[in-house]
Amino acid sequence: MAATSTARWRRRKDERPGEILTAALACFAERGFAATRLDDVAARAGVTKGTLYLYFASKEELFKSVVRQEIVASIAQAEEMVAHSEESAAVLLERLLANWPGLIAASRIGAIPKLVLGEAGNFPELARFYLDEVVRRGTALIAGILRRGVERGEFRPALDIERAVFCVIAPVLFTMLWRHSLEPYADRPLDARALCATHLDLLLHGLSAPEPRE
């Protein structure tokens, strides 16, 4: 009411796309692609439906843009960290896993896996893009660390690296999925940091108690 302007709208060409993508991500994350109405996205972005079409050719394109924009920055960042480090594999893993909770909270990337999972069947092109740009690069990253650990004698020589990668990733992914699906209905939120700590601990040492009389 006491707003900065009484105009029906303002020209904000540069800010619009980002605002729309943010609004769209939120809507898609909440309801999925098909159940999201462009009216909702528009309302959340503070524009009208027609405006969406100034920046995105269709609902599908908007969806793909949402996924792409969130992905682009994030994966490269993790690769960077690993590439420039000469630390032990265990420390690398620890830093990677310890970073994750903060990263998820800070960026809005946490909802992407849920979206891609749910819509892979409807967006083959997107599925392939994600497979190439995220899954392949992400698993290669982890596999590199594990391999380094084996080579250096840190990790067990017989390690099945290819599968172990998924075991490393799975709890992290789980956290992201949980947060954007069932967590709102659960008694209490998941403590991502604690879970990552436990995960790291299990990864490095396993469940088993050390043989007592050694």
Partner DNA sequence: CATGAATGAGCTTTCATTCAT
Partner DNA sequence: AATGAATGAAAGCTCATTCAT
Binding site for its own copies (CB under 8 A): 29-35, 90, 114, 116-122, 124, 127-128, 130-131, 135, 146, 149, 153-157, 159-160, 163-164, 166-167, 169-171, 173-175, 177, 181-182, 184-186, 190-191, 194-195, 197-199, 201-210, 212, 214
How far apart (Å, rounded) are the C-alpha atoms in residues 55 and 13? 9
Residue 48 binds which entry of its own copies, DNA, none, CB below 5-8 Å type-dependent: DNA
**Residue 81, token pair as written in the block:** 């960290």
| Minimum distance of DNA from residue 51's CB (angstroms) | 4
Q: Which is nearer to its own copies, 39 or 80 (CB)?
A: 39
**Residue 44, token pair as written in the block:** 């959340």
How far apart (Å, rounded) are the C-alpha atoms in residues 196 and 202? 10
Residue 106 binds which entry of its own copies, DNA, none, CB below 5-8 Å type-dependent: none
Q: Which is nearer to DNA, 49 or 152 (CB)?
A: 49
Q: Which positions lie near DNA, rule CB under 7 A?
A: 7-13, 16, 36-39, 47-51, 53-54, 57-60
Question: How far apart are the two ends of the chain, measured CA to CA in Å?
Answer: 75
Find out whether 109 and 99 touch, Cβ atoms under 8 Å: no
Long-range contacts of 134-142 (CB under 8 A, 24+ apart): 134/71, 134/75, 137/75, 137/79, 138/75, 138/78, 138/169, 139/165, 139/166, 139/169, 141/78, 141/79, 141/82, 142/96, 142/168, 142/169
Contacts of 64 (CB under 8 A, 6+ apart): 123, 125, 126, 129
Find out whether 95 and 201 touch, Cβ atoms under 8 Å: no
